[in-house]
């Protein structure tokens, strides 16, 4: 493990090949200004000596690391794992590597991570999923590299690039499905209302849908969870235990929605006959449950991919036409609701 063999440098290769460092450097970097014969010779001695370019040295000299930082709430959430896959695929395609950091949505940790990433001279930064506060804006603006938000946006800095979906509208439409099924008592399994990215907007959409259709809004039918299965299960249990229990439940994410389905079933009731359930996100779980979950299909992979692509444009000084992208979502009506057509 980790034998300290003498590291062989570009200089060694140059000497061995009878050329200068500059020439070796050119060959390594695919600079066309090298006579084919020379190139061949260098390439050969590189292989023979087992030379491996030192990207750190290159980074110092060229001021580019071909590495981008990714700050994400929690990779063990299916939603973010999917998104990260999109990021990594595109990064890989453009020959970037990603340094992945979990923030757990802790502001202090986020700051720390961003700082560390910038010290490591990443060529760009992707910030996912959390609220963008004044402190964020401060450190962002002090960065000398492009920063793109994914699955979130900045309420204040209207110029900050981002890629996301229209949360309010999607939640509104999802709720609308339940309304059009004829439900009057529609429960909400929400996230923290202090969460300006997911929790609040989706709650907002729910409320707006009710208002628009003149359906009474009942505070008691709103339960706030933490986006996890168990919180959905428990909250739904409470809802179903009420005398005027809801006949439909809109959960602001799929995990909670599946929890709700099971709460209904555990009570001996049927989904969607007795209670309709609508989710949000369309993580794999949505199609790994019975009945199949109706949900808002969020293009998770694409959000990551598009955000990363946008970042590469910044990093390469390409002209960018649209730096704030709102991706389309789609209602995926399956078996946990009764309406099958939009």
Which residues of the shown chain bind DNA in the complex (CB under 7 A)?
Answer: 7, 9-11, 18-23, 25-26, 28-29, 32-35, 37-39, 51, 53-54, 57-58, 60-63
Euclidean distance between CA atoms 281 and 142, whole angstroms: 33
* Residue closer to its own copies, measured from CB, 218 or 314: 314
CB of 33 to DNA, least distance (A): 4
* Residue closer to DNA, measured from CB, 58 or 85: 58
Compute the residue count for the chain: 342
DSSP structural state of residue 219? G
Residue 143 interacts, among its own copies, DNA, none and using kind-specific CB cut-offs from 5 to 8 Å, with its own copies
* Residue closer to DNA, measured from CB, 27 or 286: 27
Q: Dihedral sign, CA of 181, 189, 167, 128? A: negative
Query: For residues 209 and 252, is the Cβ–Cβ distance under 8 A?
Result: no
Residue 293 interacts, among its own copies, DNA, none and using kind-specific CB cut-offs from 5 to 8 Å, with none
Question: Beta-strand (E) ranges in 120-194?
Answer: 124-128, 147-150, 162-165, 186-190
E strand or H helix that includes residue 297: strand 295-297
Euclidean distance between CA atoms 232 and 21, whole angstroms: 63
Residue 316 interacts, among DNA, its own copies, none and using kind-specific CB cut-offs from 5 to 8 Å, with none
* Residue closer to its own copies, measured from CB, 144 or 319: 144
CB of 27 to DNA, least distance (A): 8
CB of 21 to DNA, least distance (A): 5
CB of 138 to its own copies, least distance (A): 11
Residue 85 interacts, among its own copies, DNA, none and using kind-specific CB cut-offs from 5 to 8 Å, with its own copies
- Within 10 Å of residue 248's Cβ, how many Cβ atoms? 27
* Residue closer to its own copies, measured from CB, 159 or 244: 159
Non-local (6+) Cβ contacts of 63 within 8 A are: 121
CB of 185 to its own copies, least distance (A): 24
Euclidean distance between CA atoms 168 and 205, whole angstroms: 4
**Interface residues with its own copies (CB under 8 A)?**
1-5, 7, 50, 52-57, 59-60, 65, 67, 74-76, 78, 81-82, 84-85, 88-89, 92, 97-102, 115-121, 142-147, 161, 229, 255, 258-259, 262, 265-266, 284-285, 287-290, 314
Q: β-strands 295-297, 147-150: how paired?
A: unpaired
* Residue closer to DNA, measured from CB, 10 or 285: 10
* Residue closer to DNA, measured from CB, 121 or 133: 121
Greatest Cα pair distance in the chain: 89
CB of 336 to its own copies, least distance (A): 13
The region that residue 273 occupies, defined by phi over 0 for left and psi between -120 and 50 for alpha, beta otherwise, is alpha
- Phi, psi (deg, nearest 5) at residue 128: -115, 135
* Residue closer to its own copies, measured from CB, 321 or 341: 321
Tokens of 257: 């929605």
Peptide bond before 291: cis, by omega within 30 degrees of 0? yes
CB of 120 to DNA, least distance (A): 12
Residue 92 interacts, among DNA, its own copies, none and using kind-specific CB cut-offs from 5 to 8 Å, with its own copies
């Amino acid at each position: 493990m980790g034998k300290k063999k003498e590291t062989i440098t570009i200089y060694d290769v140059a000497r061995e090949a009878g050329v200068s460092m500059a020439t070796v450097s050119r060959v390594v970097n695919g600079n066309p200004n090298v006579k084919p014969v020379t190139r061949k010779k260098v390439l050969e001695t590189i292989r023979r000596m087992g030379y491996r370019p030192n990207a750190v040295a290159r980074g110092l000299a060229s001021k580019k690391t071909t590495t981008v930082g990714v700050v994400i709430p929690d990779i063990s959430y299916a939603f973010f794992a999917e998104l990260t896959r999109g990021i990594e695929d595109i990064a890989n395609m453009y020959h970037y590597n990603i340094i992945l950091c979990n923030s757990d949505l802790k502001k202090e940790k986020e700051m720390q991570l961003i700082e560390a990433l910038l010290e490591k001279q990443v060529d760009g930064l992707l910030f996912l999923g959390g609220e963008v506060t004044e402190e964020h804006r401060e450190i962002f603006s002090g960065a000398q590299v492009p920063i793109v938000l994914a699955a979130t946006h900045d309420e204040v800095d209207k110029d900050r690039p981002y890629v996301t979906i229209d949360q309010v509208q999607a939640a509104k439409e999802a709720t609308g499905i339940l309304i059009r099924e004829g439900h009057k008592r529609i429960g909400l399994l929400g996230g923290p209302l202090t969460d300006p990215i997911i929790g609040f907007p989706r709650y907002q959409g729910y409320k707006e849908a009710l208002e628009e259709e003149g359906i009474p809004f009942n505070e008691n039918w709103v339960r706030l969870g933490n986006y996890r299965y168990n919180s959905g299960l428990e909250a739904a249990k409470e809802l179903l235990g009420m005398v005027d229990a809801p006949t439909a439940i809109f959960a602001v994410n799929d995990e909670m929605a599946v929890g709700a389905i099971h709460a209904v079933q555990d009570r001996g009731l049927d989904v969607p006959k007795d209670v309709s359930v609508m989710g949000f996100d369309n993580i794999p779980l949505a199609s790994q449950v019975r009945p199949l979950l109706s949900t808002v299909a969020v293009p998770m992979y694409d959000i990551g991919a598009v955000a990363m692509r946008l970042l590469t444009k910044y990093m390469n000084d390409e002209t960018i036409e649209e730096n704030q992208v709102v991706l389309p979502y789609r209602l995926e009506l399956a078996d946990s609701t009764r309406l099958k057509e939009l």
